Amino acid sequence: MTVEGLSASYGPVRALDDVSFTVEEGSITAVLGANGAGKTTLLRTITGLVPATGGTAMFRGVDLASRPPEEVVRAGVAHVPEGRGVVQELTVEENLRLGGSFRRDRDGTRAAIGEVYEMFPPLAERRRRSTFTLSGGERQMLAIGRALVARPEVLLLDEPSLGLAPRVTTQIMALLRTLVAERNLTVLLVEQNARGALSIADRAVVLVLGRVALQGPAAQVASDENLRHHYLGY
Amino acid sequence: MRLFIDYTLSGVSSGMIYAAVALGLVLIWRSTRILNFAQGGMAMITTYIASALLEHSVGYWAAFAVALLAGLALGAATERLLIRPVEGRSPVDAVIVAIGFLIFLEALAGAIWGASPRGFPAPFSQVDYLVGGRAIAFTPFDLFVVLAVLALMGVMLLLFRFTEVGLRMRASAFAPEVARLLGVRVNRMLTLGWALATMAGALAGLFVAPAVFLSPNYMDSILIYGFTAAIVGGLESPLGSLVGGLVIGLAISYVGGYLGSAFEGAGALGLLVVVLMVRPSGLFSRVQARRV
Amino acid sequence: MRAARRLGALLRWPSQPLLRHLAFAVLAGIACYGLSVSVSDFANSEIATVALFAVAIAGLSMLTGGTGQLSLGHGALMAVGAYAYAELELHNPHVPLSVGLLVAVGAAAVAGGVLGVAAARLRGPYLAGVTLALALVAPQLADHFFNSDQGIPVGLTPPASVESNHWLAWIALTCALVIFVLLANLRRSRFYRSFTAVRDDEIAASLAGISVARTQILAFVLSAACAGLAGALLAIADLGATSGLFPLTLSVQLVAGMVIGGIGSLVGAVWGAVLVVYIPIWLDDIVNSPSSTLAANLPQAVFGLLIVLVILLVPGGIQGALRRGITVARGRIARAGKPGRAPTTSPGAGDTVTEVASMDGG
C-alpha cells in the first residue's frame, strides 16, 4: 500500500500534513509517535472515516481514502479501530459473524470463524456469551479475530496494546508476527508502545504533529538511541 | 368485577395496537436516535391509501397488503429524503422536521380525502364474544389484532436475532462506525429500519380505524399513547414496547372506564410524566443516567 | 464647532442597550400607531393577532434558542393565560385590563414553572413528546373543567370614540413592545448567557457555578409568561376563552413561526408571527374557492412544508438568512471601499460570514 501526500484536518487543525510512505506486502510497518501526533487520524483517513483534504492511499489500484468506510474492507483492508470496537451489545459469536457479513459466502465465513476459534480458545469457550465479561486481552483477540474473518490482505491496527498488561501485549505482538508469516498478511500497526511495536516491525514511520518526521527499517530506528530518545521517549 | 374484566380485555386489545406503534418508534429510535413524531401521520396516510383502494372494490386483504407495503416505501423514502440530512444534527432539528412532516401529511390527507371521518372495515366480526351466555368486551377482530401484533413482534424478533440482516441492523444501531469498518452499509440499514418501523405503524393504523373512524387527525392521540408505551417500555427493546403497550392499554382502559373518557388523555400524560420523572430513560433501558 | 458636536452626540443613537431598545420601541410604537390609524378596522384585528403571536413566539424562541429546550405545548400555556384572564373577569368584572393581564401572566408563569420542573429532567425528544401530549390533552381538560366548548366570555370596553378593533390593536401592540424591550434586554444580559451555557454544555455550565435545573426552569417560566399574555390577548380578541382556540395546531404554529423566523431571534419572532397570521390569508386569496378541501388545508400544508424546508436548508430561518446576507454584503462593501486592492472572488480575510448553527441566533 502506498500513502502519498495524505492530509486531513479537524476544522482548522491540521491533523495530518502531507504524509507519505509505502508498506510492503507481507511486512509489518509500525507507525509511532507521541499522543496527538496524528497516528489514529492516519488510519481513520486511510479508511475514509475522516475525509482527506489531500493526497491518496492507494492499494491495488484503489484510493482507499476517497471511498466510504464500508467499501474499504471489501477492498481487502481491515481496520481494527482504537479501543478495539467490540460491539458490547452483541455476543462473541455475533461479533465474529459481523466480520464476515459483507460477504455472501456463508460457508467461507463459518470456516473463517472456526479458524479464529482455533486461534483463540478463550473466545471459543465464550462464543455465546456477551462481550461484557471479556478481559482486555480477550477483547483484543476478538477484535483481531473479527477482522480476520473478513480474510483481509491488509490489517490496520490502532493501538492494540492500549490498556493491556505487558505479558498480554507480548502475546499479541507475537501473534501478529505469526499471522504475517503464515498468511502473508500485511500489517500497519499504530502504537504508543514503541518498544513493543519495533520488536516485531520491519519498518517504522514516526509522526510528529501530523508530519512524517522519519521513516526507515525498524531495526535501525530501534538501535539509534538518539532517535529513540528524541522521538519515542525512551 | 365484570366491568373490570371488560376493561382489562379491551385494554389488552388496544394495548396491542399501542405496542405496534411503540415498536415502530423503538425501531427508529434504536437505529437513528430520533423520535419519529410523524409515525401516526404516516400510518394515517397508509390507511387512507387502503381506504381508497377499498372504495375501488379492491378486496380487504389486498388493501391490507398494499397498506403495509406503502408503509415500507413511505418509511424508506422519509428516511432517505427528510431524515438523512438531519441525522447528525441536534436532536431538536429532527423533532421539528418530524412535526412539520406530520402536519403536512395531515393537511395532505385533508386536501385529498376531506376532513370528515369515514368508516373503515374490520376483517373480522366486531360482535362481542359470548362467554357462558354473557357478552365480554372482546371480539373476533380483537383476537385478530392481538395475534397479528404478536406475530409482528415474533417476526421482528426472528429477524433481529437470527438473520444476517438483523445482525447488521443491530450493529448499525449500536456501533455505526465500527459496523462501517466491517463492511456494513449502515445507511441502508437505517433506511431499512425506518421502512420496517413505518410498516408496523401502518399495521396499527389499519387496526385503529374501524373503531375510531378514519380522519386526518385520528392517529394523533394514538401516537401519544404509543409514545408513552415506548417510553414506559424503555426505548431499547421490542419486548419493552410490548410490555409498555399493554401497560398503557390497560391504564387507559381503566382510567377511561372508571373516570370517564375525557380523562384518558390526561391519564396517559400523567403516566408518561411519572415514568419519565422516575426513570428519564424509560423502565427497561439499560443506559445509565448520566451522572456528573 | 463644539456646539455642533454636542448636537451630534444628542442625535446619535444611544450606546447603552436599554436606552437603545427603548428608543427603538418608541419609534416602532409611533410607526405602528401610524399604521393602525391608516388601515381598516378589520386590518387592526389582524395587527393585534400578529402582535400577540409575536409575543408568544418570542417567548418560545427565548426558550428554544436559549436553553435549547423545544416545547410543542406552548398553546396549552396560552390557554392557561386565557382562562385565567377570563375567569378573573367573570368573577370580578371591574378589574382593570392591566391587572387581568398580569394575572394571566402570573398563572401561566406558575404553569410554566411546573412544566419546567418536569422539563429540567428530560432530554430534548422526551420533552417534546411530553409537551406534545400536553398540547393534545389541554383542550380536552379545558372543555371538561370550563363550561364545555362554550367557554367563558370576555369583554372589551374601549374608551369612547375609539373603535374596538383599534383599541385591541393598541393594547396588543403595547404589550408586544413592552415584552420585546424586556426580552431584548434579557438577550444581552448574563442571564441569557447562562441559558446558552446550559444549552451548549451542561457539565461545563454546572462546573462554572450555574444551576442547570434552575436555569432551565426559569427559561420555561419566562416563555410561559409570554405565552400566557398572548393567550389572554387572544381571548380578548375572540371575546371569550374557548377550547377551540387552543388546538394542537396552535402549538405547532408557534413552533413554525419560531423556526421560520429564526430560532432565538426576536426579530425572527416578528417575521414568524407575520407569516403565521398572513399565510392563511394570502393563500385564501390565491385559491379562490373558499369551500374546497384544498383551500382549507393549504395553509397547514404550506406551514408543514416550510418547517421542513427551513430546517433542512436554512436552519437560521429568515433572520438567519438575512443576517448572513448582511454580513456578506458588508464584507463586499468593505473590500470594495479599499482602493488598490484587487477584489477577491472567494471569501477573504475581511469576510466574517458566520456559520449560523441551527440553534444559534440573536
ipTM, two decimals, is 0.88
- CA B190: distance to chain centroid? 18
> How many cross-chain Cβ pairs, A to B, lie less than 8 Å apart?
64
Q: Is residue B291 part of a domain?
A: no
How buried is residue B278: exposed, middle or buried, by Cβ count under 10 Å (0-12/13-18/19+)? exposed
B59 touches chain C (CB under 8 A): no
What is the extent of the structural domain holding B50? 2-114+130-278
**Predicted confidence (pLDDT) at residue B266 exceeds the cutoff of 50:** yes
Q: Is residue C349 part of a domain?
A: no
Of A88, A94, A101, the CB nearest to B183: A101
For residue B236, the chain A residue with the least C-alpha distance is A89
Report residue B290's pLDDT band, with 50, 70 and 90 as the boundaries.
Answer: very low
For residue A76, the chain B residue with the least C-alpha distance is B183
CATH code, B201: 1.10.3470
The arithmetic mean of pLDDT across residues B166-180, rounded, is: 89
Q: Is residue C338 part of a domain?
A: no
The arithmetic mean of pLDDT across residues A158-182, rounded, is: 86
B174 touches chain A (CB under 8 A): yes
Q: Which residue has the higher pLDDT, A132 or A230?
A: A132
* Average pLDDT over chain B, rounded to an integer: 88
B228 touches chain C (CB under 8 A): yes
Query: What whole-number distance in Å separates Cα of residue B236 and Cα of residue B23?
Result: 10
Q: Taking the C-alpha atoms of C9, C12, C13 and C16 in order, what is their torsion angle to the nearest 10 degrees?
A: -10
CB-CB neighbors (< 8 A) of C303 in chain B:
100, 103-104
What is the extent of the structural domain holding C119? 15-315
Closest of B6, B37, B76, B25 to residue B242, by C-alpha: B25
> How many separate domains does chain B show?
1
So what's the pLDDT on residue C352? 33
Cβ–Cβ gap A101/B167 under 8 Å: yes
Q: Is residue B56 part of a domain?
A: yes
CB-CB neighbors (< 8 A) of B268 in chain C:
133, 137
* Average pLDDT over chain C, rounded to an integer: 81
**Predicted confidence (pLDDT) at residue B285 exceeds the cutoff of 70:** no
Q: What percent of chain A has pLDDT over 90?
A: 3
So what's the pLDDT on residue C348? 39
The H or E element containing residue C337 is: helix C317-337
Amino acid code (one letter) for C189: S
Return all residues near A69 (Cβ < 8 A) that are at least 6 apart: A47, A48, A49, A79, B177, B180, B181
Amino acid code (one letter) for B55: E
Q: Is residue B283 part of a domain?
A: no
- Crossing angle of helices C41-66 and C190-200, rounded to 10°: 60
Report residue C359's pLDDT band, with 50, 70 and 90 as the boundaries.
Answer: very low
Query: What whole-number distance in Å separates Cα of residue A164 and Cα of residue B66?
Result: 55
The C-alpha cell 390609524 sits at C37
Q: Is residue C155 part of a domain?
A: yes
Q: Is residue C348 part of a domain?
A: no
So what's the pLDDT on residue A54? 82
Q: Which residue has the higher pLDDT, C270 or A222?
A: C270
Report residue C360's pLDDT band, with 50, 70 and 90 as the boundaries.
Answer: very low
Cβ–Cβ gap A98/B181 under 8 Å: no
Q: Is residue B121 part of a domain?
A: no
Q: What percent of chain C has pLDDT over 70?
A: 85
Q: Indicate which of B172, B181, B236 best probes the interface with A, i.e. most A CBs within 10 Å of its own CB.
A: B181
* Average pLDDT over chain A, rounded to an integer: 85
So what's the pLDDT on residue B108? 93
A4-23 pLDDT, tens digit each: 777 777 777 888 888 888 88
Angle, CA C123 vertex, CA C117 and CA C124 arms, to 5°: 110
So what's the pLDDT on residue A210? 82
Q: Is residue C343 part of a domain?
A: no
Q: What percent of chain C has pLDDT over 90?
A: 25
Query: What whole-number distance in Å separates Cα of residue B141 and Cα of residue A196?
Result: 69
Phi-psi region of C338 (alpha: psi -120 to 50; beta: other; left: phi over 0): beta
Report residue A60's pLDDT band, with 50, 70 and 90 as the boundaries.
Answer: confident
Q: Is residue C346 part of a domain?
A: no
> How many separate domains does chain C show?
1
Cβ–Cβ gap C121/B276 under 8 Å: yes
Q: Is residue B96 part of a domain?
A: yes
For residue B171, the chain A residue with the least C-alpha distance is A87
Return all residues near B201 (Cβ < 8 A) that are at least 6 apart: B20, B21, B24, B39, B40, B42, B43, B46, B71, B75
Do A and C touch (≥3 CB pairs < 8 Å)? no
Q: Is residue B82 part of a domain?
A: yes
* Distance, first Cα to last Cα, chain B: 49
| Chains touching C by CB (3 or more pairs below 8 Å) | B
Give the phi and the psi of residue B236 in degrees, each rounded to 5.
Answer: -105, -20
Query: What whole-number distance in Å separates Cα of residue A220 and Cα of residue A218?
Result: 5
Q: Which residue has the higher pLDDT, B291 or C286?
A: C286
Helix (H, G, I), strand (E, B) or coil at B217: coil
Instruction: Among B139-148, C98-107, C125-134, C353-362, name the one with the lowest average pLDDT.
Output: C353-362
For residue A146, the chain B residue with the least C-alpha distance is B182
CB-CB neighbors (< 8 A) of A44 in chain B:
none
A 62-91 residues inside an 8 A Cβ radius of B: 68-74, 78-79, 81, 85, 87-90
**Predicted confidence (pLDDT) at residue C17 exceeds the cutoff of 80:** no
So what's the pLDDT on residue C214? 87
So what's the pLDDT on residue C338? 61
Report residue B197's pLDDT band, with 50, 70 and 90 as the boundaries.
Answer: very high
Per-position b or e across B237-257, b if 16+ CB within 10 A of its CB: bbbbbbbbbbbbbbbbbbbbb
How far is the alpha carbon of C71 from chain B, nearest alpha carbon, in Å? 10
**Predicted confidence (pLDDT) at residue C9 exceeds the cutoff of 70:** no
Q: Is residue B287 part of a domain?
A: no
B161 touches chain C (CB under 8 A): no
Instruction: Among C216-220, C243-247, C323-327, C353-357, name the one with the lowest average pLDDT.
Output: C353-357
CB B276 within 8 A of CB C122: yes
